[in-house]
């Protein structure tokens, strides 16, 4: 299964991924129209920074899925077909239990409707998730874990070659 994985050393903190995510989850699917929507679209990825380093965070699709276990209404579910944790907005009662137990802090409240939003990997798109496509430095990648780790090892070897 492919995952959205991040190379923090490449992240500029530009937040292009956040913007693309919000637009992809808007009704209109275009930036200028999304800004005019009565309910502003909600991003599902968060770029955090400590001033020197930046890191994009989104749902990690935890195997133990604390959000699913904490959800009292059954709105957080593991989709059997995609194996992704999804939110059923028809069932969400806005209790925020999933927000409280998420170890990464990436489940967000949609205040206007008192429900939650989390990364759904843009399942309605036929290609990369919007955040990955928008990243100008390719810090975000939509790849198999083995491919990601292999490319990390190759990058380390290239770095070491330059040190010698």
Report the percent of the chain where pLDDT is more than 70: 99
Q: What is the pLDDT of residue 40?
A: 84
Helix (H, G, I), strand (E, B) or coil at 76: strand
Which of 118, 134, 153 represents a domain boundary (last residue)?
A: 118
Token readout for 68 is 């699913």
Residues 61-73 pLDDT 10s? 999 999 999 999 9
- Shared-domain flag, residues 131 and 161: yes
Whether residue 163 is predicted with pLDDT greater than 80 in this model: the reply is: no
- Shared-domain flag, residues 65 and 111: yes
Token readout for 101 is 């137990």
Question: Residue 155's pLDDT band (boundaries 50, 70, 90)?
Answer: confident
The structural domain count of the chain equals: 2
Contact between 131 and 120 (Cβ < 8 Å): no
CATH for 111: 3.30.70.20
- Which own/partner contact pairs does 84-91 have at CB distance under 8 Å and 24+ positions apart? 84/120, 84/121, 84/123, 85/59, 85/61, 85/118, 86/120, 87/115, 87/116, 87/117, 87/118, 87/120, 89/115
- Buried b / exposed e over 14-33, threshold 16 CB at 10 Å, is ebbbbbbbbbbbbeeeeeee
- Shared-domain flag, residues 89 and 132: no
Q: What is the pLDDT of residue 79?
A: 94
Look up the domain containing 79 and give its range. 60-118
Whether residue 5 is predicted with pLDDT greater than 90 in this model: the reply is: yes
- Shared-domain flag, residues 28 and 75: no
Rounded to two decimals, the pTM is: 0.89
**Average pLDDT value for residue range 77-89:** 94
Mean of the per-residue pLDDT values for the chain? 93
- Shared-domain flag, residues 71 and 108: yes
Whether residue 164 is predicted with pLDDT greater than 80 in this model: the reply is: no
Question: Residue 45's pLDDT band (boundaries 50, 70, 90)?
Answer: very high
**Average pLDDT value for residue range 87-100:** 96
Whether residue 89 is predicted with pLDDT greater than 90 in this model: the reply is: yes
**Average pLDDT value for residue range 98-120:** 94
- Shared-domain flag, residues 30 and 50: yes
């Amino acid at each position: 299964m492919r995952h959205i994985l991040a190379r923090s050393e490449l992240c500029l903190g530009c937040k292009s991924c956040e913007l693309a995510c919000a637009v992809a989850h808007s009704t209109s699917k275009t930036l200028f129209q999304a800004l005019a929507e009565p309910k502003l679209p909600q991003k599902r990825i968060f770029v955090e920074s400590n001033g020197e380093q930046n890191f994009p965070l989104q749902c990690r699709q935890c195997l133990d899925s604390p959000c699913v276990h904490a959800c009292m209404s059954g709105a957080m579910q593991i989709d059997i077909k995609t194996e992704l944790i999804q939110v059923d907005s028809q069932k969400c009662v806005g209790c925020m239990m999933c927000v409280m137990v998420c170890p990464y802090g990436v489940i967000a409240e949609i205040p206007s409707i008192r429900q939650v939003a989390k990364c759904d990997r843009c399942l309605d798109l036929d290609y990369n998730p919007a955040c990955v496509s928008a990243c100008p430095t390719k810090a975000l990648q939509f790849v198999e874990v083995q491919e990601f780790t292999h490319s990390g090892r190759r990058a380390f070897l290239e770095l070491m070659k330059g040190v010698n």
